[in-house]
Amino acid sequence: MLAYTEQAKSSVELLKEFMEGKTAFQGSKLVFTGVGTRDVYNISAPFKDNGELVIAGRVEDRDKELSEVMFFVERRGEWIPRNGAPVFALQDPFFTFIGDELVFGGVEVYFDGDDPHYVTSWRTVFYRGHSIQDLEPFAKGPETMKDIRLVEQANGRIGVFTRPMMVEGARALIGYAEIATLEELTEETINDAELLRHQFLPEEWGGANEAHVLTNGMIGVLGHIARMEANNIRHYYPMVFAFNPADHRYTPVRLIATRSMFPDGPAKRPDLEDVIFSGGLVRHKDGTASLYAGVSDAEAHVIRIPDPFLEYEK
């Protein structure tokens, strides 16, 4: 019997609970080449496109926010840009499959006209097609909203997870809406999503990064929870919870990894050292799952962990 959440816990409390039960799993760095001196981070999980495994990744100079999203394929243990694949002026790519279509998206960032380093706003944008090569734009989220994710349910309806900021006294909350077709994915629908009010404390925030339909019809949500302390130092932790689309109840947030579980490496800035950004989760038949993640806004790693969604399917 699943326990549904009634009160949010702080990320500090969640971290304490996770560390008490933590087992010895260690991540590894993914090697990306063919992008010069730029970093590749905040990757998607691998997905098949025309029979070939592909990873989408955020490509960026260490000292800039101006990003591109590129598609990579593995060759002799390294991930290289896919020949002829499109390049998008986006950040933080994600994907899902709706029907027989690939739905791809990322964050479109707007910069000040006088200062190309100063970000003025951002929004999530969506593309659709039958392969990477024929992706076409079809929807945009509201301004200043990241972490909008879609999932196709067994009945054909499409779940939409949202992430409005500065709402009801909170820095950010997750929302949920349902649509029948991709044509119904509009700013109005996204803005009207029902809020999940008991996932984060008002001073903390988080979002959905990927959604999986589970064997019992629940939706397993891979996401992140974050807090900020003095001097704007950020702490981002990968987390999961289960959402019941039948009655819109949801389980408490549970952490699944920390920065210490990944190899040491550089950070984009000192305030981003303790940042793990959930990219995607690949579930395996042996009860484990591979978490693909951006690390410290500078690298991309993968870690094999116990499948965090199995307990929601019991």
Reported as a pLDDT band with limits 50, 70 and 90, residue 52 is very high
Length of the chain in residues, anyone?
Answer: 314
The identity of residue 170, as a single letter, is A
Residue 169 has pLDDT above 90, yes or no: no
Residue 132 lies in a domain: yes
Is 5 contained in some domain? no
Q: Please tell me the predicted confidence (pLDDT) of residue 65.
A: 84
**Tokens of residue 138, six digits:** 């079809």
The DSSP element (H or E) to which 18 belongs, if any, is: helix 11-21
Dihedral of alpha carbons 86, 89, 94, 98, sign: negative
Say how many Å lie between the first and final Cα of the chain, rounded: 8
SS3 call for 260: helix
By DSSP bridging, strand 67-75 and strand 78-81 are antiparallel
| Domain assignment present for 3 | no
Query: Tokens standing for 135?
Result: 């992706």
- The pLDDT tens digits for 153-165 are 999 999 999 999 9
pLDDT, one tens digit per residue, over 87-137 is: 999 999 999 999 999 999 999 999 877 777 778 999 999 999 999 999 999
> For 215-259, how does the pLDDT look when each residue is reduced to its tens digit (9 = 90+)?
999 999 999 999 999 889 999 999 999 999 999 999 999 999 999
The per-residue pLDDT of the chain, averaged, comes to 95
Is residue 161 in a domain? yes
The number of folded domains in the chain is 1
In a domain? residue 22? yes
In the three-class reduction of DSSP (H, G, I as helix; E, B as strand; rest coil), residue 203 is classed as coil
The model's pLDDT over 11-29, given as tens digits with 9 standing for 90+, comes to 999 999 999 987 778 999 9
Q: How high is the pLDDT of residue 160?
A: 98
Q: Which domain holds residue 23?
A: 11-313
The CATH code of the domain that includes 173 is 2.115.10.20
User: What percent of the chain lies above the pLDDT cut of 90?
Assistant: 90
For 173, other C-beta atoms within 10 Å of its C-beta total 24
In a domain, 155, yes or no: yes
**What pLDDT is recorded for position 5?**
80
- Indicate the pTM of the whole model: 0.96
Residue 314 banded pLDDT, cuts 50, 70, 90 = confident
Q: Answer yes or no: is pLDDT of 213 > 80.
A: yes
